[in-house]
């Protein structure tokens, strides 16, 4: 794999919900290569949003290691956090309105994140025009968000999150509020921008139609990575079960149900393959 820009090892995150402690991440291992476009999928409560919050330095891991572009997110100072968010990552909220300033035009919205940098005003305008054109809304540059469609606002949100040319873009459910055709167009434009800029993209989603636009799709179950899918073409893919550093893996639930696996299973080595079966399927040694 190429050099990792995201490297999570044995990552735990525990938070309190009322009086109950919830283990959202349970020893998660995950790496994202520089320049990769990757999706994290999973059911609600699987830990994917918590992972995104950790990578955005909005939450501090309870244990384990999480590094992004050289930043240690388990021990990051306030000053480092400000620089990290300003220069290293871009973040697209699930509610894109949180990315937008209602009173500003689309063009001014994209320029706004660059105001605290050393980028010259002419370069700010040039960068804003490039991103608005790349996402197909340059003709709407002078319009405020309330005069844009939902899809146009989503494109604007992506342009804003990429304004400072971040090394890593984190996107939370970027297509959840869009119809299928609009979502496909947004993802195609994002892929084109990503290929030109080399920005690494990590998004979390429930939308399985997103998967074929990605280099890789990692599924999270019960706070740990469970399977990995790589798309080989428009219609073909290959899926692998992830084995973590402790030798643990999660058998896909469809296999568990079909084989009737529960409580304990038998594992044996045969012809360089590991065979898993129900406890009663193998004779006692």
Token pair in block for residue 15:
């938070």
For residue 88, the 8-state DSSP code is I
Q: What is the mean pLDDT of residues 229-236?
A: 65
- pLDDT recorded at residue 246: 67
CATH superfamily of 4-247: P-loop containing nucleotide triphosphate hydrolases (3.40.50.300)
Strands 71-72 and 265-270: unpaired
For residue 172, the SS3 value is: strand
Return all residues near 5 (Cβ < 8 A) that are at least 6 apart: 32, 33, 34, 68, 69, 167, 168, 200
For the chain, the average pLDDT equals: 88
pLDDT at 155 over 80: yes
Section 117-144 average pLDDT: 95
Q: What is the mean pLDDT of residues 204-211?
A: 85
Q: 42 Cβ partners below 8 Å, 6+ apart? A: 48, 204, 219, 220, 221
CATH 3.40.50.300 segments of the chain: 4-247
Say whether 236 sits in a helix, a strand or coil: coil
pLDDT (tens digit, 9 = 90+) per residue, 26-43? Answer: 899 999 999 999 999 988
């Amino acid at each position: 794999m190429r050099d990792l820009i995201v490297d999570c090892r044995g990552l735990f995150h525990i938070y309190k919900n009322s009086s109950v402690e919830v283990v959202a991440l349970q020893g998660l291992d995950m790496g994202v290569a520089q320049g990769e476009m990757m999706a994290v999928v999973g059911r609600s409560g699987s830990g994917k949003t918590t992972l995104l919050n950790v990578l955005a330095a909005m939450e501090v891991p309870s244990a384990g290691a999480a590094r992004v572009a050289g930043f240690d997110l388990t021990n990051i100072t306030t000053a480092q956090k400000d620089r990290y968010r300003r220069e290293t990552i871009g973040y697209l909220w699930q509610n894109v309105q949180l990315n937008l300033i209602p009173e500003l035009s689309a063009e001014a919205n994209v320029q706004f994140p660059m105001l605290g940098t050393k980028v010259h005003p002419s370069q700010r305008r040039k960068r804003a025009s490039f991103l608005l054109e790349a996402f197909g809304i340059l003709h709407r540059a002078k319009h405020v968000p309330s005069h844009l469609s939902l899809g146009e606002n989503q494109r604007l949100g992506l342009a804003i999150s990429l304004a400072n040319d971040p090394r890593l873009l984190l996107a939370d459910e970027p297509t959840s509020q869009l119809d299928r055709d609009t979502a496909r167009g947004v993802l195609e434009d994002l892929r084109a921008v990503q290929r030109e800029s080399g920005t690494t993209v990590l998004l979390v989603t429930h939308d399985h139609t997103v998967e074929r636009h990605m280099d890789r799709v990692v599924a999270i179950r019960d706070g740990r990575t469970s399977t990995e899918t790589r798309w080989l073409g428009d219609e073909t893919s290959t899926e692998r079960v992830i084995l973590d550093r402790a030798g643990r893996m999660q058998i896909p639930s469809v296999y568990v149900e079909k084989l009737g696996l529960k409580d304990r299973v038998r594992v044996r080595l045969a012809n360089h393959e590991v065979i898993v079966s129900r406890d009663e399927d193998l004779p006692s040694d």
